[in-house]
Amino acid sequence: MLWGLSLFGAAAILPYGFAMSGSQLANVPMSRPKLIAVSLLNSAVLMTVAVFVGLLAAQAVGLGAPVIEAALSGQPLLPALAAVPLAIVLGVLSTSLVVLLEMRVFRPHLPQALQQVDQNMALWKRLLASFYGGISEEILLRWFVMSGVVWLGSRLTGGVATDAMFWFAIVFAAVLFGLGHLPATARLTPLTPLILTRAILLNGLVGIATGYLFWHYGIEAAMIAHFSGDIVLHVLTPMFTQPRTDANRPTATHPA
């Protein structure tokens, strides 16, 4: 189930990713259908490792997917869905803080390439991209990385996963999430201490919120929070902060 969801997220990001690449796609020596197939194949291999290794690690340290588990075992879904309101609130609040910091603190000092944050992207592409963040990124960063870090830590202490290990794993995955955005940023502008701080802080805020939710309420709560936050970031915020021009001429990449 998780593997299928992750591939849906990987497919959903393709229109956004292709639009962000713009003229760079003209230099890729393959047709668009072949490029889509290669992208999905790469995602399938990566997500196979992330889902199944993450499954072993998560089960070993008491992490899980309570909604999916309840659905597949025929158990009542309502108790497993109790964390949905909290997940939405934390996702919206953490991302709203990200937007506020971006607008008030970082954006006035950023190079022009990063100030034009995908401002001309079509709304439907932004919406689809939110599924990638909410599903695929959470499987990679929380289900795989966070579970794996906690499991490795528990092996060093005789199989006991402590609260300190969970918090370390939450912060580690959040920082890794931020650093993972730097290669795309580096294609647009040289990396500076300000840009590095921005990537880690803005993405880390969301990562800490979703990591906490995964720890206490399961991977679905983390997914819902991340998806809710991406709706704020990609769909709602641009409606109020960016000029509406040609929807087919995106220029840069998003901060979180």
Write the pLDDT tens digit of every residue in 168-182.
999 999 999 999 888
pLDDT of residue 100: 95
pTM: 0.89
**In the numeric block, which tokens belong to residue 52?**
């199944």
Handedness of CA 88, 90, 92, 95 (dihedral sign): negative
DSSP state string for 70-129:
HHHHT--STGGGTTHHHHHHHHHHHHHHHHHHIIIIIGGGS-HHHHS-STTB-HHHHHHH
d(CA 119, CA 250): 6
Nearest by Cα to 139 from 248, 51, 231? 51
> What are 225-240's pLDDT values in tens digits?
999 999 999 999 888 7
DSSP state of 28: S
| Mean pLDDT within 71-98 | 95
Domains of the chain by residue range:
2-241
pLDDT of residue 255: 47
**In the numeric block, which tokens belong to residue 10?**
């990987």
Asked if 101 contacts 202 with a C-beta cutoff of 8 angstroms, the reply is yes
Asked if 127 contacts 239 with a C-beta cutoff of 8 angstroms, the reply is no
pLDDT of residue 67: 96
| Mean pLDDT within 199-207 | 93
pLDDT of residue 26: 67
Collapsing DSSP to helix, strand or coil, 202 comes out as helix
Collapsing DSSP to helix, strand or coil, 161 comes out as coil
Q: What percentage of the chain reaches a pLDDT higher than 90?
A: 68
Collapsing DSSP to helix, strand or coil, 158 comes out as coil
Which of 117-121, 142-146, 212-216, 233-237 shows the lowest mean pLDDT across its residues? 117-121
For 36, 69, 94, 210, the CA distances from 147, given in Å and listed in that order, are 30, 17, 22, 13
Binned at pLDDT 50, 70 and 90, residue 243 comes out as: low
Which of 28-37, 156-165, 192-201, 204-213 shows the lowest mean pLDDT across its residues? 28-37
Which of 111-120, 148-157, 238-247 shows the lowest mean pLDDT across its residues? 238-247
